[in-house]
Every structure is written in C-alpha cells, then in structure tokens.
Structure 1
C-alpha cells in the first residue's frame, strides 16, 4: 500500500546507539522512492493522457466549428435558393400574366374581326337575298306575261307543221 503524506510526516524512527536505525531509515527511504517513482509514472501517464484528451478535445472542437460553419453555409444556401425560387416564381407569374394579356388581346382582336366578317356576310346575304328576290319576281312577271301564251302557240303550230 503506497505511503500517504501523513504517513511520511508521522514516521518516527527508533533511536539506536548513534541515532536512528540506519536500516530502518533506508527501508523507509526505499519505500518512499518506490512510491514516489510510482506517483511520478502515474503523473506522467496522466499528463500524457490529459495531453491526448486535450488533442482530441481540440480536434472535436475544430470539427464542431467546421460543422457549425457548414450549417451556417447550408442555411445561407437554403435561404438563397428560397429567395431565388421566389424571384423565379414571380418572373413566371409575370410572364404568365403577360401571356394571358396577349392571348386575351389576340382573342379580342380575332373576335372583332369575326364580328366584322359576320356583319359583312350579313350584308352580302341581304344583298344576295334582295337580288334573288328581284330575279324570282322578274321570272314570275315573265311567266305572267302574254308572251308565254304566244310562245306556246308558236310551239304548237311548229309541232303541227312538223307532223304534217
């Protein structure tokens, strides 16, 4: 069992003829030396272990710092991507609105053109109807005239002559 500082302090040597017993003192000193060497070895091992752990701690602190920086960069990148996506979405919406306005304007223009064509066709149909009516009335008038009776008589007389 290793000596404690209190054991060393309280150690009393028996007195011999010329002072303390030399063998007893030497044994005690040997025991102190062994214990002291063990303590020094343990201290050295502990010091090395502390240095090793400090190195590991420093390494882990660097990793933590790197991870924190990486997280910040990732957050900033995500925010930038979000802002970029928002801007792109706004541009898409504006472009869609422009296209919608263009399509509406084109449709209105085509609608007006079709309406004008319809009106023109109505006018042409009215003119055609009027002309056709006049033609039919003229033909009807011609049928109602005495000229048809004369043509019929001429045809009959021609038929009689050819038969004879």
Structure 2
C-alpha cells in the first residue's frame, strides 16, 4: 500500500547515539510531504482528466459509429432509389415504345385505308366519267339523227296549225 502524506508526517524515527539533526530531518520531511501531496493532487487531477477524456472519447466513438451506420443506410437508400429510378425509366421507355409502335401501326392502317378509299374513289370517278361521256355521246348521236329533224318539223307544223285556228 502506498504511503500517504499523513504516514510521512506521523513517521517516528528511533533516536540513536549521535543521530541526525532533528530539525533538519523534520524540515526535509515537511518538504517531502508538500511535494508528495502535490504529486498526489496532480495524479488525481490527471486521473479525473483521463476519465473525462475517456468519456468524451467513448461519446465521440458512439457518434462516429452512428454516423458510419447513417452513411451506410444513406448509401443503401441512394442505391435503392437509383435502382428504382432505372426500373421506372425502363418501364417508361417500354411504354413509350409500345405507344410509338401503336401510333405508327394506327397511322399505317389509316394510310392504307385512305389509299384504298382513294383508289375506290378514282375507280368510281372513272366509271362516272365513262358513263357521263357515254350519255353525252348518246345524246349527241340522238341530236345528229334524222329522226330529230322529223320530230321538230312535225311538231312545228302542228303548232302552226294550232296557231292558225
């Protein structure tokens, strides 16, 4: 067990023949007691300081551990968000491609339908033109026949007779 300042102060030496000077020994012991008390005080202060620093170190280590965990969670979350964004982007692209294909197919189908309708209208116009031409030719032929002249002469005579009466 270490000595205390009180142990040093209370220490009694036996006296021998022609021993040391008692005042000198007591003065030296008083100096030792003061120095020893100072060392003990300093030791206690350093111990308290080390304890305080250990507590702070433990606190900061806990903060560091928490921050490291938070960083890992944030990285995992960011990675998950990135993966989800990529999946969503792929789905959007696929949906857009489907819509584009549908729009193109619809446009092609409408274009084919319009082309068929146009061809049908051209045929109908051609048939109409041919029929109209035949009708006009038939009418011209009828006008150019002698029968028309006879009809107009006979009806002109009848009218003149009607006016004459």
TM-score range, shorter chain: 0.7 to 0.9
Q: Relative to structure 1, is the Cα distance of residues 77 and 159 closer, same or farther in structure 2, using a 3 angstrom cutoff? A: farther
CA distance in 1, matches of 2:50, 2:161: 149
Q: TM-score when scaled to structure 2?
A: 0.80
The runs of 4+ residues in structure 1 deviating greater than 2 Å are: 146-164
1:32 shift after superposition: 0.7
Q: How many residues are matched?
A: 149
Q: Please report the RMSD computed on the Cα atoms of aligned residues, expressed in angstroms.
A: 2.1
Find the counterpart in structure 1 of residue 35 from structure 2.
35
More moved, 109-118 vs 29-38: 109-118
Gaps of 5+ in 2: 1-15
CA distance in 2, matches of 1:148, 1:44: 148
Q: TM-score when scaled to structure 1?
A: 0.80
CA distance in 2, matches of 1:154, 1:21: 189
Find the counterpart in structure 2 of residue 126 from structure 1.
126
Question: Could you say what secondary structure the match of 1:20 adopts?
Answer: coil
Question: Could you say what secondary structure the match of 1:19 adopts?
Answer: coil
Find the counterpart in structure 1 of residue 45 from structure 2.
45
Find the counterpart in structure 1 of residue 68 from structure 2.
68
